[in-house]
Amino acid sequence: MDIYLPIAEVAVNAPLIVALGALVGFISGMFGIGGGFLMTPLLVFFGVPAPVAVGSMANHVAASSMSSVIAYSRRRAVDLRMGAVLATGGVIGAYAGVEIFRLLRLLGQADLVVSVSYLVFLSVIGGLMLTESLGAILRRRRGEPQPPHRDRRPVWLYGLPLKMRFPRSRLYISVIPPLLLGAFVGMLSAIMGVGGGFILVPAMVYLLRMPAGMVVGTSLLQIIITTALTGVLQAGRNQTVDIVLATLLLVGGVMGAQLGARASARFRAEELRAILALIVLLVGLRMGLGLFFRPEEPFILMSGMGG
Amino acid sequence: MADLPLPPHVAEAPPAAEAPQVRAPEAPKPIISAALTDANIQVKSNFRGARIVLYGAVFDAAARPSDVVVLVRGPEQPVRITRKIQVAGLWINSRPVVFRGAPGFYRAASNRPLADIANFGTLRRLGAGIDHLTFAAPAEQRVETRYGVRDVVVNQLGADYYDWKSAVVRLKEAAGLYREDEHGVRFVDRGLFRAEIALPAGAPTGVYRADIILFQNGKPVAQRTRTLTVQKVGAERALYVLAHDRPWSYGLASMAFALAVGWAASAAFRRD
């Protein structure tokens, strides 16, 4: 059953897209990430033009994060204050990102920046996560004690001005690192069509030293606010949001996300991190590989913006 | 198409100067006539098989062997194209090049291969066949004075210009927008023919022009032109128009809808 996407101007197989949404939703709910880093490349692979995939993903990520954040907030696992600080940065970053993406499209280099961003960010994050989580798994298998939880937080977190209390996370740190982190993730969200959870979650754990229980719910809150803004900006500035595509993905995505959130309770945290790290790494390498091989068809028609 | 060699009504009123070229003065000049079954084609977004159907007849008292070519052109669209180039080991997009004058849709339907109907020069003059489309990249060309010679046209793409141009045609062909159909015109009865042209999903909207040309002995001897309008209708079209005319309202509404779906889903799956 093919369905025509009005903005992407291509016909896609509807059940396939719904299944894709469910699969990514499952992963998203399981790991507490938006899943955009996985969905955007898959959509491009199935023939959706990259700018439309990036633009529409914002809607999909916002909706699926919305459905999971409510579950987390019921468990009181959301630090609203930290979420607000991150989101403030995210709003600035998203605005900058949409403008940068617009410029890149005009220059014809959007593909390159998207591929390179995927290659660099996903490989680095995936590699780091994999090393860390495999180490933790091995230590547990061998019965070695986990390294003592380093409660010494980096000096720069304390040396910076504008300190703020985050009672839920039991933190008293400067707002500058979370603001910058939020801005950076917001920009990536606009350029890569991702929520940014794959960067946000590790950064909150390892840099901000937030308690693990608070990280996922809080990152989802930041992602909702940032992607909601990105989605509106992408539609307003670039006309690349396809609501039919986003809705199809949502139908599968919300169901998958709920199932994923329940499934996550059955795994240990480090096992979840290891699986996620592998997925992240594979997607990053796959997206980046195209840069190194001679393309079969060297010429590419650029959709839209024909003038 | 001001450069067509024959004005549309040449068949009815042949200029006296051309009369000797048409072999026998005793036989009246052949006439071609054609009509579209529907001059206003509404393409539904979820359509399968929107098509242009055209009937026509060749009136020729001498019954000379006739070939019919139907050229359908969609509205002109600028084409932006880029080429992957290797820079420091990485394959990246080059500077985009904009071609102008290329039709958004092109079909050359005929009753047998175009190359058998007329020679290269004739086909080129008529723009019959995807190899004979005329379009150019005006931004890449400039007129300058070189070595004291004025008005030299310099193309910045240099020798690659032909590669770029043929890539436009190749990619449009791959998208189903350009095609030659050597069996697209069928004679259903003596002198009576039918042409059927399928429109792909990506066919642009707007005014299309169909040139129906009668060839005899390798020469175009009569021609008719018909115009038709292709419109997209339906909910998807309405969304497209809304997204482009009122992008901010569309964006806000889409996001509100997405968030509401997320909220509703979490309420629906709530276990307690």
Tens of pLDDT along chain A (307 residues) come to 777 787 877 778 889 989 988 888 888 777 767 677 888 888 888 888 877 888 888 888 888 788 777 777 777 777 888 888 888 998 999 889 888 888 887 777 777 888 888 888 888 888 888 888 888 888 888 887 766 655 555 666 666 777 777 777 777 777 788 888 889 988 888 888 777 877 888 788 777 778 777 787 888 888 888 888 888 988 888 888 888 898 888 888 877 877 887 777 777 777 887 888 888 888 888 878 877 877 777 787 776 543 3
- Single-letter code of the amino acid located at A91: V
Cβ-based contacts under 8 A for chains A and B: 177
Find, in chain B, the residue whose alpha carbon is nearest to that of A115: B92
Residue B50 near chain A (CB below 8 Å): no
* Model confidence band, residue B10 (pLDDT cutoffs 50, 70, 90): very low
- Cβ atoms of B138 and A307 within 8 Å: the answer is no
How many CB atoms lie under 10 A from the CB of residue B145?
A: 9
What values do phi and psi take at B144, rounded to 5? -145, 175
The secondary structure of B136-147 as a DSSP string is B-GGGEEEEEET
What values do phi and psi take at B202, rounded to 5? -85, 5
Q: Residue B270: what pLDDT?
A: 67
The set of residues, in sequence order, having a beta carbon less than 8 Å from that of A17 and lying 6+ positions away, is A3, A46, A245, A248, A249, A252
- Tell me, what DSSP letter sits at residue B204? P
Q: How far apart are CA B234 and CA A29, in angstroms?
A: 35
Provide the token pair at A281: 């790494």
A31 CA to centre of own chain: 11
Q: Residue B209: what pLDDT?
A: 93
Burial A77-96 (b: 16+ CB within 10 A, else e): bbbebbbebbbbbbbbbbbe
- Single-letter code of the amino acid located at A295: P
**Given a cut of 50, is residue B8 above it in pLDDT?**
no
**Given a cut of 90, is residue B106 above it in pLDDT?**
yes
Q: How far apart are CA A150 and CA B235, in angstroms?
A: 58
Yes or no, beta carbons of B243 and A7 under 8 Å apart: yes
Beta-sheet strand order (sheet of B192-199):
B31-36, B50-59, B192-199, B185-189
Q: What is the location of CATH 2.60.40.1930 in chain B?
A: 16-233
Find, in chain B, the residue whose alpha carbon is nearest to that of A114: B92
- Tell me, what DSSP letter sits at residue A303? P
The secondary structure of A240-261 as a DSSP string is ---HHHHHHHHHHHHHHHHHHH
Yes or no, beta carbons of A236 and B248 under 8 Å apart: yes
Beta-sheet strand order (sheet of B219-233):
B40-44, B219-233, B206-216, B66-73, B106-110, B178-181
The set of residues, in sequence order, having a beta carbon less than 8 Å from that of B196 and lying 6+ positions away, is B51, B52, B53, B54, B109, B184
Yes or no, beta carbons of B263 and A70 under 8 Å apart: yes
Q: Which domain holds residue A285?
A: 2-143+152-289
Yes or no, beta carbons of B98 and A307 under 8 Å apart: yes
Provide the token pair at A92: 């600035």
- Within a domain: residue A240? yes
What values do phi and psi take at B142, rounded to 5? -145, 150
Which of B47, B48, B84 to substitute to test the interface with A, most A CBs within 10 Å?
B84
**Given a cut of 60, is residue B161 above it in pLDDT?**
yes
The mean pLDDT of B187-202, rounded to a whole number, is 86
Q: Residue A149: what pLDDT?
A: 57
Find, in chain B, the residue whose alpha carbon is nearest to that of A61: B258
Distance from CA of A232 to the nearest CA of B (A): 4
Q: Establish whether this prediction's ipTM goes over 0.85.
A: no
Residues of B in contact with A65 (CB under 8 A): 262
Q: What mean pLDDT value characterizes chain B?
A: 81
Surface-to-core class of residue B170, CB atoms within 10 Å of its CB (0-12 exposed, 13-18 middle, 19+ buried): middle
- Single-letter code of the amino acid located at B34: A
What values do phi and psi take at B232, rounded to 5? -105, 135
Residue B239 near chain A (CB below 8 Å): yes
- Within a domain: residue A55? yes
Find, in chain B, the residue whose alpha carbon is nearest to that of A70: B266
Give just the sign of the alpha carbon dihedral A68, A94, A203, A199. Answer: positive
Instruction: Name residues 67-96 of chain B within 8 A of A (Cβ).
Output: 77-86, 89-96
Distance from CA of A261 to the nearest CA of B (A): 11
Residues of B in contact with A307 (CB under 8 A): 78, 98
- Within a domain: residue A299? no
CATH of B16-233, one of 1.10.357.10, 3.90.1420.10, 2.40.70.10, 2.60.40.1930: 2.60.40.1930
Nearest to A62 among B202, B247, B255 (CB): B255
Q: Residue B252: what pLDDT?
A: 92
Surface-to-core class of residue B20, CB atoms within 10 Å of its CB (0-12 exposed, 13-18 middle, 19+ buried): exposed
Which of A4, A109, A305 to substitute to test the interface with B, most B CBs within 10 Å?
A4
pLDDT in tens, B124-157: 888 888 888 887 777 777 666 767 776 666 677 6
How many CB atoms lie under 10 A from the CB of residue B229?
A: 13
Could you tell me what percent of chain B has a pLDDT over 70?
81
Q: Residue A155: what pLDDT?
A: 64
What values do phi and psi take at B113, rounded to 5? -50, 135
Nearest to A306 among B80, B84, B259 (CB): B80
Find, in chain B, the residue whose alpha carbon is nearest to that of A292: B90
Find, in chain A, the residue whose alpha carbon is nearest to that of B175: A301
SS3 label, residue B255:
helix
Yes or no, beta carbons of A258 and B266 under 8 Å apart: yes
Yes or no, beta carbons of B266 and A294 under 8 Å apart: no
SS3 label, residue B110:
strand
Residue B240 near chain A (CB below 8 Å): yes
Yes or no, beta carbons of A237 and B269 under 8 Å apart: no
Yes or no, beta carbons of B269 and A246 under 8 Å apart: no
Count of structural domains, chain A: 1
Radius of gyration of chain B (CA): 25
- Cβ atoms of A210 and A204 within 8 Å: the answer is yes
CA atoms within 13 A on the CB side of A4: 20
Residues of A in contact with B92 (CB under 8 A): 109, 112, 291
Provide the token pair at A44: 């491009």
A184 CA to centre of own chain: 12
pLDDT in tens, B27-53: 678 889 888 888 888 877 665 657 889
Distance from CA of A54 to the nearest CA of B (A): 14
- Tell me, what DSSP letter sits at residue A33? S
Find, in chain A, the residue whose alpha carbon is nearest to that of B267: A67
Residues of A in contact with B262 (CB under 8 A): 62-67, 250, 254
Residues of A in contact with B254 (CB under 8 A): 59, 231, 235, 241, 243, 246
What values do phi and psi take at B31, rounded to 5? -125, 140
3-state secondary structure string, A66-84? Answer: HHHHHHHHHCCCCCHHHHH
Find, in chain A, the residue whose alpha carbon is nearest to that of B202: A9
Nearest to A59 by CA among B137, B258, B122: B258
Which of B85, B166, B237, B254 to substitute to test the interface with A, most A CBs within 10 Å?
B254
